[in-house]
Amino acid sequence: MTDPTPAHRADYRFFSTIQTRWSDNDMFGHVNNVEYYRFFELAVCEFMMRACEIDLLNAPVFTFVAESLCRFRRPLSWPHTVTAGLRVEHLGTSSVRYGIGLFDDSSDLPAAEGHWVHVFVDRENQRPTAIPETVRAVFERHR
């Protein structure tokens, strides 16, 4: 598999700021790889709550993560702030794939990038369901 050319900061539509913590670093002074996935999750949750205005705990429709991927390009480290960029890469009937890039202040190229696939599920029957139209409209604006 070839490594695709990284996106630039300007390729993303929604941004959230994440403050690294001392405990995010590994013994080499870099943010531990597992934390990149936490940063992805924080960016997606913030997008869902702020841009989509979804009550993640009580909405009748919620999301399951079906797939995630992260390409590590260069290390991040504490105490630097990370900016997570998010864009909608694919929009289906009941699923969406977000492209996510993690940036520090040193470059407009991501330190890490990847994707996160959400499947929308009916809370009551736990089955895939159509993305609500109000949410779909937000997704369309963030392509």
CATH number where 19 lies: 3.10.129.10
- Exposure string over 93-109, b if 16+ CB within 10 A, otherwise e: ebbbbbbbbbbbeeeee
pLDDT of residue 4: 78
The 8-class DSSP code of residue 124 comes to T
Q: Where are the alpha helices (DSSP H) in 5-132?
A: 33-46
In a domain, 63, yes or no: yes
pLDDT of residue 77: 95
CB 91 within 8 A of CB 138: no
Provide the domain limits for residue 52.
10-141
pTM of the model: 0.93
- Structural domain total, the chain: 1
Give 93-111 pLDDT, tens digit per residue. Answer: 999 999 999 999 999 999 9
How far apart (Å, rounded) are the C-alpha atoms in residues 89 and 100? 10
- Tokens 């029957």, located at residue: 125
